[in-house]
Amino acid sequence: MEILGSFLELGKIILAPIIEYYNHYRGADEHLKNLKRKRDDLECKKSDIELEMRAELVPGKKPKREVKSWLQKVETINEEIQKIEQEAIRGKYLSRMHFGRVACEKILEVTELIDQSCGFGDCLVIGPPVRNGDELPTRALVGESTAKRTLEKIWEHLLDEDFRIIGVYGMGGIGKTTVMKEINNRLLKERDEFNCVIWVTVSKAFNVIKLQNDIACHLNLENELSKFKDETTRAGKLYAELKKRKRYVLILDDMWKAFPLEIVGIPEPTSANGCKLVLTTRDVNVCNGMNCVNIKMELLSIKESWDLFLKTVGCDVSNIPKDVVEGVVKECAHLPLAIITVAGSLKNVVDISEWRNTLNELKTPVKGLEHVDVVFQKLQLSYKRLNDKKLQRCLLFCALYPEDYEIYRDNLIVHLIDEGVIKSMSKRQAMLDKGHTMLNKLENACLLEGGSHDEFIEKEYFVKMHDLIRDMALQIAGPKFMVSEDVPDEEEWGKDVEKVSLLSNRESEFPYISPKCPKLSTLLLQGYATIPDSFFVHLHGLKVLHVFGGRIKSLPNSISDLENLTSLRIYRCFDLKRVPSLAKLTALKSLDLLESATKEIPHGLEKLINLRYLSLRAYNQEMPPGILPKLSQLQVLKLNCGSNSLTVNGEEIVRLKKLDFFKGKFCGLNDFNTYLESLEGGPSHYVYCARKTKPASELGETVKLLPKDVQALAVFGGQNLRFFYKCMKSVCIRECEEIEEVFSYSFTFPLQSLEIVQLVKLDKLLVLFREEKVTAAPMVPPGTFSRLKEFTICECPNIRQLFALGVLLNLANLEQITVFRCLQLEEIIARPKASDEVDEEEAKEIVEIFPRLRRLTLVISPELNTICSSSNVILCDSLDSIEIEECPKLKRLPLSLRRINGQLSSPPSSLQIKIEKERWELLEWDNHDMKMVLEPCCEFLF
């Protein structure tokens, strides 16, 4: 039985496939019909899915992967079924069985595909994933102490919760975008800090719609936003989407105009949403308009410029003369864009001739030089965006001065008035204010660089032009400007030239030429001992003539015939004893001879009835009667004030009703009183010079006549005078032998208007304040020194301490402290005395002082041992300069930096510390890490 069972099982195994093949053969036609019906069902399903998908597949979205895979499988199986049907028509006996089997298999596959389509859900497409930001290609940063330090400062501000909107500004081509690309890429890598980064390059011509579109593109919202044309509606949509996001950084690169965030739809960055806005611009006014904390991009140092040039040029330059290579690098003027462009044009160039040619082209830029034009195109955008013809004229006028020339603001504004760039106004001060406003705008646009020099009475402010900005300006001016150190040959003076600058730094011979330039209106001359009479013969259109410096002893008589001249200025010509007759120059509005050595009043002065500005030097004489009253249009009158200087009659000065500014010496006290009594408001600034031979009673009587609203006073040689008023802003006291103290606690008002205090050569000065013990009165009136910005003390050998503790908290606006050669000075801020009652906990508390301090200068003060007590520190946020020299007893430098995430922040990129190396090593620090962080800012004096 077992054997029979085994045979039966074997029979089943053998017969099963035969039966299956028979069924496939017999039912082949039916199977193929069923397969066709299933395929039709699948095609219907496919058509429905494709229609739905097309409806959902708007730009920015794509099919789900499973849908895309399903459609591909349908295409494949349709091709297979079609092939089966075609072969079945031509099939033979054995093939029918094969087709029947294959048809059954395909029916199962089609059924499975139809079942799969039911699991796609309600949506067949998906939107793109949320973008965290795009990594941006960038080149390596250059400059350990500039670009990288700026980058770190931006990064610290991003991590600091106190700063929400950050502005990075600087001139075109300085590397703002490069630094921000590095910031963008670092943010993408360090995802713990922010969720996403949105980078948008703002259009030069600001357009709300475009900016909205650019931001929407990063949010995958552009299709939704495109349905609306109204800016406000679009702003609402964008605002709603951005508000959903948390902790994003929005970077707006190359902004040219400030705008309210709400008109675009950008939520205000707050600590609640954790968002930050960073913008880059060439104009600091854009930063201010956006309420930014501002970070300035500085130019490269000499070493960094050199390193970048060599890296970019990519070849050994040892065979090129050193002065040629250094000259090329110098002409790039520390600007990264210029260095990269010029070095790129010299890449792998070893021919010395090509190097010399490039240097010559850079020194005399003209249109058509490829490596120069690339830079100029970038810089000219800033020029064009001024959108103000007068500002553009002002900038071009600055290019008439030599490279790196410090153009004093007041002098430049006088020139701009003479040129008509600043229109004539009834008040001279209004014109000066207009000029300073224009220069501020050019500084803010990074087209001019500002600076100052300390003077005894007040600062002298100047502007400078970056070399490449100057070259760009000269390129724009073209043939209308001629700028040279040497006088060109006569044939080189073009007929179209309008302004000529021949400012030489050496004593040069002026050739005997007589150029014919009918359009020439402005001529600047410097460095010539003589000027031939023939030179001015054909220059009848000349309106502005300024002669600077040199050993010139006389001016040519042909100047007397320049009847269209409106401005004649002779500046620092100390050998010039006389000027030719001015009788014919009736068009003159400005005559400045103060900084020359002329000893006589010019002939024909009384004929200059259109003069608005007169600055004159003459000696040992009185102004001839009758001249000044004829100059009825005068707004400014400046006369030399030395012991042998020109004197004027008070009654004649009174008759000059348009006079805004007067500096001069009266014939006597009665003339001074006559002048002062005639004034309604009185001058705001006085320079009071007291002769030591005069009795103190007479000097004191003169001082009492000063108006109570005087704002600035400089005293030279007085004796224990007291004349401080509520509105006084500036005081300079110099060489007053008897003064032991300057201020008094007994004043009935606090000295809360004072901004500048300068004390110079006061041999007996012991203290700033005379202590007067008044029982009910406070030691220091509240508000004393609360507006003080600059404090200078020089050569006061007996004073031991400067500021008392009672004044310390009032010095919140102090920006500059200068101490020079104060031999007994021990303390800047007085330390608490042992007898003072100080709360123990309060003494431990660290108090930040001088929050706006920019400059600290301590020089030749051998007894100075303390700046402030150990409980006081100076935060470095605003510091630009520290100079400590020959102060051997100074032990502690009380500097402090903010902490971010427990780490000391970087010091300001502009900070420079000048100090002897030995003194630096011996200084004591509250935090030893401070020394390490600040040391890169040091310039050691050996």
Most confident of 69-83, 122-136, 280-294, 638-652: 280-294
What's the rounded Cα separation, in Å, for the pair 87 and 96? 10
pLDDT at 369: 47
Tokens of 466: 């970056």
CATH number of the 389-478 domain: 1.10.10.10
Average pLDDT of 496-515?
Answer: 86
* Structure-token match 């030489």, residue found: 504
pLDDT digits (tens, 9 = 90+) for 645-667: 778 888 888 888 888 888 877 77
pLDDT at 104: 74
What's the rounded Cα separation, in Å, for the pair 638 and 629? 15
Average pLDDT of 281-285?
Answer: 88
Q: Residues 6 or more apart from 709 whose CB is under 8 A from it? A: 681, 682, 684, 725, 727
533 pLDDT above the threshold of 60: yes
499 pLDDT above the threshold of 80: yes
Predicted structure pTM score: 0.60
pLDDT at 781: 67
Q: Residues 6 or more apart from 591 whose CB is under 8 A from it? A: 567, 568, 569, 582, 602, 608, 611, 613, 614, 615, 616
The mean pLDDT of the chain is 79
Most confident of 51-60, 177-186, 359-368: 177-186
483 close to 400: Cβ distance less than 8 angstroms: yes
Neighbours of 303 (CB within 10 A): 11
Distance in angstroms between the alpha carbons of the first and the last residue of the chain: 119
398 pLDDT above the threshold of 90: yes
Q: Report the candidate in 597, 589, 609 with the shortest Cα–Cα distance to residue 543.
A: 589
Which helix (H) or strand (E) covers residue 192, if one does? none
pLDDT at 235: 92
What's the rounded Cα separation, in Å, for the pair 449 and 451? 7
745 close to 774: Cβ distance less than 8 angstroms: yes
With bands split at pLDDT 50, 70 and 90, how would you rate the model's confidence at 588? very high
Chain centroid offset of residue 762 CA? 39
With bands split at pLDDT 50, 70 and 90, how would you rate the model's confidence at 125? low
pLDDT digits (tens, 9 = 90+) for 736-755: 777 888 776 555 455 778 88
Neighbours of 130 (CB within 10 A): 11
The topology under which CATH files domain 144-296 is: Rossmann fold (3.40.50)
Neighbours of 815 (CB within 10 A): 16
pLDDT at 136: 77
Q: How far is CA 904 from CA 142, 152, 341, 869, 934, in A?
A: 23, 12, 37, 22, 10
- Give start and end residues of each alpha helix (H) in 346-448: 352-363, 370-384, 389-398, 409-419, 428-444
E strand intervals along 94-164 = 125-126
Handedness of CA 253, 254, 258, 262 (dihedral sign): negative
The residue extents of the domains of the chain are 1-126, 144-296, 323-387, 389-478, 705-771+781-814, 845-941
Average pLDDT of 766-770?
Answer: 77
141 pLDDT above the threshold of 90: no
Q: Residues 6 or more apart from 562 whose CB is under 8 A from it? A: 536, 539, 540, 542, 545, 585
707-728 burial, b if ≥16 CB within 10 A, otherwise e?
A: eeebbbbbbbbbeebebbeeeb
183 pLDDT above the threshold of 60: yes
282: left (phi over 0), alpha (psi -120 to 50) or beta: alpha
More confident residue, 539 or 341: 539
Average pLDDT of 611-640?
Answer: 85
More confident residue, 567 or 112: 567
895-922 burial, b if ≥16 CB within 10 A, otherwise e?
A: bbbeebeeebbbbbbebebbbbeebbee
543 pLDDT above the threshold of 80: yes
With bands split at pLDDT 50, 70 and 90, how would you rate the model's confidence at 887? very high
| Long-range contacts at 537-543 (CB < 8 A, ≥ 24 apart) | 538/514, 539/515, 540/564, 541/517, 543/418, 543/567
pLDDT at 820: 93
In terms of Cβ atoms closer than 10 Å to its own Cβ (0-12, 13-18, 19+), residue 469 is: buried
What's the rounded Cα separation, in Å, for the pair 895 and 255? 35
Give the lowest-confidence range in 275-279, 346-350, 454-458: 454-458
pLDDT at 243: 87
